[in-house]
Amino acid sequence: MFRTTATAAAAGAARSAQQDDSDRFEELPPDPKPASAIASPTEPRQELRAAIDYKLSGNAAFARSSWAEAADEYRLGLASLPARPVPRRKLDPTSGQPVTARASDKIRPERVRPPKRRDPPPTPDPWSAEPSKLDSSDEDSDDKQDPNLIPAPAVEPIEEEEVPPEAEDIKQLRAVLNGNLGASLMKMSCDKEAVEALTDALTDDPNYVKALHRRAMTNERIAGWSGYSAALEDWRKLSKLSKAPPSYTHIQRLQKLSDEARDKETAEMMTKLKGLGNSFLGKFGMSTDNFQFVKNEDTGGYSMNFNQNARK
């Protein structure tokens, strides 16, 4: 009897333990998501820490007028950031090859016309006052009303590329580093490299006023038709974004410089082309004097007229 009582007590303890485990299991929260699926709010800051340190070192060097050292620090900061996402080409789910169709492409739906059975033409009645007229209907006109036309399935346009999303703080820091790099290169008179850095800054932040202002000034120093026209475009955008827009007089002066540079470069190009043309046309007894270029004052372009008796 003692053995039976002990056995019953052990069985009761087992059932009690099993019930406790069951209750404890029901009270547990659901399994958490993997750590890789949860973005910690402090993770981007840890990722940007090195780039921020390089930026501060570059600012200190810039304040000491150490332009080259500042540029190196800004470049190191850019190198420590993740690369800018590039557009990814979508793949065709069936073939796995890159999609080449653009979203603007329109594919016309075609209509398939089933073969049409023709009846033999009726025999004219020689005794009739008016011979019966043969069927002369146009096949193309039947296409609009023929109910047998089968419309081809419509093809939806396909987007060719998609740009992966990127954290906003990374974009902003990259824009600032490129903007500061452009300022350092301006101090070193490396104007073309400065324009490239400032353009990269505006790629991440198109409304970055400081970068626009620096690029406008740098393009003015580069001068020439391309430099003046690019600077003019930036100044016009600044007039809409900046609280202290450039003066109307400055834009007008820059427009005049751009027009003068365009006319000068066009004249130089025409002179070079004329010399090259004379060396070739002389073999055929002609010269560029046979070709008269007339400038269109409205568009700034040129039209060409041929005058066969120009050399006489």
Give 226's pLDDT tier (boundaries 50, 70, 90). Answer: confident
Give 25's pLDDT tier (boundaries 50, 70, 90). Answer: very low
Q: For 59-85, how does the pLDDT look when each residue is reduced to its tens digit (9 = 90+)? A: 999 999 999 999 999 999 999 998 887
pTM value > 0.85: no
Angle (nearest 5°) at CA 105 between 99 and 109 = 105
Identify whether residues 74 and 172 lie together within a single domain: yes
Q: Which residue has the tokens 């834009």?
A: 251
DSSP 88: E
Whether the per-residue pLDDT at 135 is higher than 90: the answer is no
Any domain includes 142: no
151, 179, 204 - which closes a domain: 204
204, 234, 264 - which closes a domain: 204
Identify whether residues 78 and 178 lie together within a single domain: yes
Which has more confidence, 70 or 294?
70
204, 236, 257 - which closes a domain: 204
Any domain includes 108: no
pLDDT in the model for residue 276:
78
Whether the per-residue pLDDT at 57 is higher than 90: the answer is yes
Give 22's pLDDT tier (boundaries 50, 70, 90). Answer: very low
| Nearest CA-CA partner of 202 in 193, 194, 211, 210 | 211
Give 149's pLDDT tier (boundaries 50, 70, 90). Answer: low
Side chain identity at residue 299, one-letter code: T
Half-sphere exposure of 257 (CA within 13 A, CB side): 19
Q: Per-residue pLDDT averaged across 9-13, rounded?
A: 55
Tell which phi-psi region holds residue 122, choosing left (phi > 0), alpha (psi between -120 and 50) or beta.
beta
Q: Which residue has the tokens 């270029």?
A: 293
Q: Is the dihedral of CA 48, 54, 56, 58 positive or negative?
A: negative
Side chain identity at residue 263, one-letter code: D
Identify whether residues 63 and 196 lie together within a single domain: yes
Express as a percent the part of the chain with pLDDT over 90.
23
Q: How many other C-beta atoms lie within 10 A of the C-beta of residue 66?
A: 16
Number of residues in the chain: 312
Any domain includes 57: yes
pLDDT in the model for residue 87:
66
Any domain includes 26: no
Identify whether residues 76 and 169 lie together within a single domain: yes
Give the domain extent around 297. 272-306
Any domain includes 71: yes
Identify whether residues 58 and 175 lie together within a single domain: yes
Any domain includes 172: yes
Any domain includes 214: no
Query: Reduced to 3 states, what is the DSSP secondary structure of residue 91?
Result: strand
**Identity of the highest mean pLDDT range in 4-13, 40-49, 225-234, 249-258:** 225-234
Whether the per-residue pLDDT at 13 is higher than 80: the answer is no
DSSP 306: E
Identify whether residues 200 and 70 lie together within a single domain: yes
Any domain includes 76: yes
Q: Which residues pair with 81 in a beta bridge?
A: none
218 near 189, Cβ under 8 Å?
A: no
Whether the per-residue pLDDT at 133 is higher than 90: the answer is no
Identify whether residues 186 and 290 lie together within a single domain: no
* Cα dihedral value 32, 33, 36, 37, nearest 10: -140
Q: Which residues pair with 105 in a beta bridge?
A: none
pLDDT in the model for residue 125:
55
Domain with 192 in it: what CATH number? 1.25.40.10
> What is the count of structural domains for the chain?
2
281-to-93, 268, 276, 277, 306 alpha-carbon distances in Å: 57, 20, 9, 6, 13
pLDDT in the model for residue 196:
95
Angle (nearest 5°) at CA 149 between 145 and 155 = 120
98 near 90, Cβ under 8 Å?
A: yes
